[in-house]
Amino acid sequence: MTDPLAALAGEQYVLLTTTRRNGVAVATPVWVAPHGDSLVVTTGAEAGKIKRIRHTPRVTLQACDRVGKPLEGAAVVEAHATVHDDDESLAHLEAALSAKYGVQYAAIKAMSKLRGRRAPGSVMVRLVPPSS
């Protein structure tokens, strides 16, 4: 993994900024975990950020707090995002998030299950340097 992305791998929250077709930036705080030479994020398959990534895969990332306020001095890092929903990718995502967030991730999953949030399911967003 390149240095700018590697530096974000240890952050608790990262601000993922995607772009609407009209050019308006939309920022969302997300959990992020390292996976090989990339970072991975999870979100719902029907989330707006997924539609935006499919149209414009160029995104930016910045360390932030849980409500999306960028951390003081945090660099903005460009990345290329791809969406994956195959079983192998979802298994890698599960392992990466479980390894990093442990009990927190398990609790979020359990609460989602209790609330009946199952369909349309989750996807993995893979983040790599723009040149990859």
Q: Please name which of 20, 28, 75, 88 lies closest in space to residue 51, comparing C-alpha atoms.
A: 20
pTM of the model: 0.86
> How high is the pLDDT of residue 119?
45
Domain boundaries of the chain, sorted by first residue: 3-128
Cα separation, 4 vs 127, whole angstroms:
12
What is the H or E stretch that residue 99 is in?
A: helix 87-114
Q: Look up the CATH number of domain 3-128.
A: 2.30.110.10
* Partners of 43 in beta bridges: 123
Going 86 to 34 to 1 to 46, the CA torsion angle's sign is positive
47-71 pLDDT, tens digit per residue, is 999 999 999 999 999 999 999 999 9
Instruction: Compute the 3-state secondary structure of the chain and give helix, strand, coil in percent, each to the nearest 5.
Output: 30, 35, 35
Q: How far is CA 44 from the centre of its chain?
A: 11
Cα separation, 63 vs 85, whole angstroms:
25
The model's confidence at residue 103, banded by pLDDT at 50, 70 and 90, is confident
